């Protein structure tokens, strides 16, 4: 009699590490969290939260640090502003604010007291995640995709379970962490390893790890004993490599494009791209950009 593999546990929770200082976009981030910098018409973090919600995520855990209170305030009610809009009959703006609110108890904030690396930031969320699979979304990376990048990943996770990461082709694999593929079926790739910034001629693939992960809770036990790696920090990928020894890992070459807001030119590129993709403002945004670029 053939045994049937149990269905993967539902994906309900996501971790957003937002404790970073944003030094690559100083001085803008001296007083404003980098995640709150506006990408056309809304803070960058809103795009990431919307992506998670579109994938069916029910609970979001923000891993914050010092001077990140603006993120908590943004996802809370703003009574004075709401009353002002109500009195002025600005119903559309009020409705837009209401859309951004999450139900009570569906958002948590934990503190990473020291900048010990991405792996440590994820580990800080362990008690809220518990014994469940969870997503990690790096807020520096904005994904333009429909369905959302994480929604595409969640659909594949429901089929194969295990651990899953999003990847994207690059012409410069030596600048990124790339996957080492074992086999491929369409956009889904069975992984046998990862290589951080390989020499171009030695790169096992041109598919870079683009900042979206679905991980099993066993990663927390590995993170708790993980020794510092690159940069003297606890690296998430080091524990992922250890977890790969006992659990399956797949990569999904998702249908879409990522925008790295971690530096000034990447941020500029993201602002332009999301302005051009905005249904209401696309044509006018294109006109403005042509004016700026005109000789």
Instruction: Establish if 8 belongs to a structural domain.
Output: no
Reported as a single tens digit per residue, the pLDDT across 194-226 is 888 888 888 888 899 999 999 999 999 999 888
Residue 4 has a pLDDT of 47
Is the pLDDT at 10 greater than 80? The verdict is: yes
Reported as a single tens digit per residue, the pLDDT across 69-112 is 888 888 887 778 877 888 888 888 777 777 767 777 788 999 98
Q: For the domain that residue 171 is a member of, what is the CATH number?
A: 3.90.550.10
As a whole-number percent, the residues of the chain with pLDDT over 90 amount to 53
Instruction: Establish if 62 belongs to a structural domain.
Output: yes
Looking at 22-31, 128-137, 196-205, 278-287, which range is the least confident one? 22-31
Instruction: Establish if 244 belongs to a structural domain.
Output: yes
Mean residue pLDDT of the chain comes to: 88
Instruction: Establish if 203 belongs to a structural domain.
Output: yes
Residue 115 has a pLDDT of 80
Other beta carbons within 10 angstroms of residue 254's beta carbon come to 24
Residue 177 has a pLDDT of 85
Instruction: Establish if 1 belongs to a structural domain.
Output: no
- Across residues 50-55, what is the average pLDDT? 95
Residue in 200, 204, 208 with CA at minimum distance from that of residue 251: 208
Residue in 180, 220, 177 with CA at minimum distance from that of residue 196: 177
What is the count of structural domains for the chain? 1
Is the pLDDT at 1 greater than 70? The verdict is: no
The dihedrals phi and psi of 282, each to the nearest 5 degrees, come to: -50, -55
Instruction: Establish if 169 belongs to a structural domain.
Output: yes
- Across residues 142-150, what is the average pLDDT? 95
Instruction: Establish if 2 belongs to a structural domain.
Output: no
Structural domain range at position 49: 13-293
């Amino acid at each position: 009699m053939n045994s049937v593999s149990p269905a993967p546990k539902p994906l309900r929770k996501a971790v957003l590490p937002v404790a970073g200082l944003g030094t690559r976009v100083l001085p803008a981030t001296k007083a404003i969290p980098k995640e709150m910098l506006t990408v056309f018409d809304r803070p960058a973090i809103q795009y990431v939260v919307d992506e998670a919600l579109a994938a069916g995520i029910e609970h979001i855990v923000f891993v914050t640090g010092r001077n990140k209170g603006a993120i908590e305030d943004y996802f809370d009610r703003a009574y004075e502003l709401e009353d002002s809009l109500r009195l002025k009959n600005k119903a559309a703006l009020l409705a837009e604010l209401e859309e951004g609110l999450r139900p009570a108890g569906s958002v948590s904030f934990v503190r990473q007291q020291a900048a010990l690396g991405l792996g440590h930031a994820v580990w800080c969320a362990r008690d809220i995640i518990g014994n469940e699979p969870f997503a990690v979304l790096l807020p520096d990376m904005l994904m333009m995709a429909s369905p959302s990048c994480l929604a595409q990943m969640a659909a594949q996770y429901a089929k194969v379970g295990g651990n899953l990461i999003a990847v994207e082709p690059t012409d410069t694999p030596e600048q990124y962490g790339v996957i080492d593929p074992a086999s491929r079926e369409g956009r889904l790739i069975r992984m046998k390893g990862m290589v951080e910034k390989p020499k171009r001629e030695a790169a096992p693939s041109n598919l870079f790890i683009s900042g979206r992960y679905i991980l099993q809770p066993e990663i927390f036990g590995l993170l708790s004993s993980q020794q510092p790696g690159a940069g003297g920090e606890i690296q998430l990928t080091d524990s992922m490599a250890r977890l790969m020894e006992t659990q399956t890992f797949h990569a999904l070459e998702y249908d879409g494009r990522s925008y790295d807001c971690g530096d000034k030119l990447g941020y500029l590129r993201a602002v332009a791209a999301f302005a051009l993709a905005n249904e209401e403002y696309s044509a006018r945004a294109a006109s403005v950009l042509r004016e700026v670029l005109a000789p």
